[in-house]
């Protein structure tokens, strides 16, 4: 489970780059009950801001400015030293997309690609440790990597972020699902998974790996209905998965992917 103490290697923040900030803010507000708070000085252009749930920050939103980039969620992992992590990324064969930079007193961030192109980011906390609500309805509860090289990804992220893994066989001989736990933490602190797929299965990102967030919801079917009503769509589900819950893989109106999950009780 994800908690807000944010030990090193745990997911601590996420934001979404989108071509249409006002429309995207309205979509997620309708689906997850979020309130959008434009950043100071943003004015009517609404070029970026924060989502809140019950008054607590749950995600960020900004204008997609990178030429040729697709709209996608970026997941940030907590680290003690963003500069040291950047060195580890390079040594392990990854690419630095945004070098470490300070965001006022809030913290220090950097963004990377893994060796096959999966994008992720890190956050060295200052006054802000990360989002303020997790593992509750309307908030982040899990992170997931789809990749064509699960074993290579496990080694890369293990070297960079210190993760360890436990494998669960998928139904029908579909391979293994590798669950992620931060270094030095018990299995109860699992926060995500790595799934091996073919390049054809990753057509959404041109065959390259990608991370996406899983959001906790009270009612998966009702949430999916709100996705469709808001102009989004589903790639899979809703469907029940034993020991996990009822989930659906969704796309927002700009084709950013995310998962909705009503967890199994207990």
Q: What is the pLDDT of residues 100-154, one digit of tens each?
A: 999 999 999 999 999 999 999 999 999 999 999 999 999 999 999 999 999 999 9
Token output for 1 = 């489970």
Which residue range(s) make up the domain with 229? 140-263
Query: Are 165 and 257 contained in the same domain?
Result: yes
Q: Which residue, 64, 94, 125, sits at the end of a domain?
A: 125
Query: Are 259 and 145 contained in the same domain?
Result: yes
pLDDT tens for 26-47 read: 999 999 999 999 987 554 444 8
The pLDDT, as a whole number, for residue 168 is 87
The count of domains in the chain is 2
More confident residue, 56 or 66: 56
| pLDDT at residue 211 is higher than 90 | yes
In a domain, 67, yes or no: yes
Query: Are 24 and 100 contained in the same domain?
Result: yes
Query: Are 74 and 177 contained in the same domain?
Result: no
d(CA 67, CA 29): 27
Pair 141, 2: CB distance under 8 Å:
yes
Query: Are 155 and 253 contained in the same domain?
Result: yes
Average per-residue pLDDT for the chain: 93
In a domain, 2, yes or no: no
More confident residue, 69 or 190: 190
Q: Which residue, 125, 156, 178, sits at the end of a domain?
A: 125
d(CA 116, CA 149): 8
Which own/partner pairs from 102-109 qualify as long-range (CB within 8 Å, at least 24 positions apart)? 102/126, 108/82, 109/76, 109/82
Q: Which residue, 97, 125, 153, sits at the end of a domain?
A: 125
Residue with tokens 């979020």: 34
Query: Are 34 and 107 contained in the same domain?
Result: yes
Query: Are 85 and 165 contained in the same domain?
Result: no
**Residue 67 falls in which region: left (phi positive, over 0), alpha (psi -120 to 50) or beta:** beta
Query: Are 121 and 150 contained in the same domain?
Result: no
Strands 95-103 and 72-78: unpaired
Domain of residue 54, CATH code: 3.10.180.10
Query: Are 82 and 114 contained in the same domain?
Result: yes
Percent helix, strand, coil in the chain, to 5, is: 20, 40, 35
The pLDDT, as a whole number, for residue 46 is 46
Mean pLDDT of 253-260: 97
């Amino acid at each position: 489970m994800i908690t807000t103490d944010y030990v090193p290697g745990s997911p601590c923040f996420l934001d979404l780059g989108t071509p249409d900030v006002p429309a995207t803010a309205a979509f997620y507000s309708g689906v997850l009950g979020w309130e959008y708070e434009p950043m100071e000085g943003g004015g009517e252009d609404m070029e970026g801001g924060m989502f809140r749930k019950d008054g607590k920050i749950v995600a960020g939103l900004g204008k997609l400015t990178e030429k040729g980039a697709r709209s996608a969620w970026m997941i940030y992992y907590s680290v003690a030293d963003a500069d040291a992590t950047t060195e580890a990324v390079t040594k392990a064969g990854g690419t630095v997309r945004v070098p470490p930079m300070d965001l006022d007193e809030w913290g220090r961030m950097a963004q990377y690609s893994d060796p096959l192109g999966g994008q992720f980011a890190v956050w060295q906390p200052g006054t802000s440790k990360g989002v303020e609500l997790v593992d509750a309805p309307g908030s982040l509860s899990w992170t997931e990597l789809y990749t064509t090289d699960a074993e290579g990804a496990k080694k890369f992220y293990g070297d960079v972020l210190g993760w360890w893994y436990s494998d669960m066989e998928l139904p029908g001989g579909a391979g293994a699902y590798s669950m992620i736990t931060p270094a030095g933490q018990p299995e109860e602190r699992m926060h995500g998974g790595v799934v091996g797929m073919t390049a054809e299965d990753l057509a959404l990102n041109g065959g390259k790996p990608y991370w996406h967030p899983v959001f906790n919801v009270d009612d998966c079917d009702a949430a999916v209905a709100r996705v469709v009503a808001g102009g989004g769509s589903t790639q899979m589900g809703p469907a029940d998965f034993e020991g996990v819950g009822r989930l659906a893989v969704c796309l927002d109106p700009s084709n950013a992917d995310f998962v909705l999950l009503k967890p199994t009780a207990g």
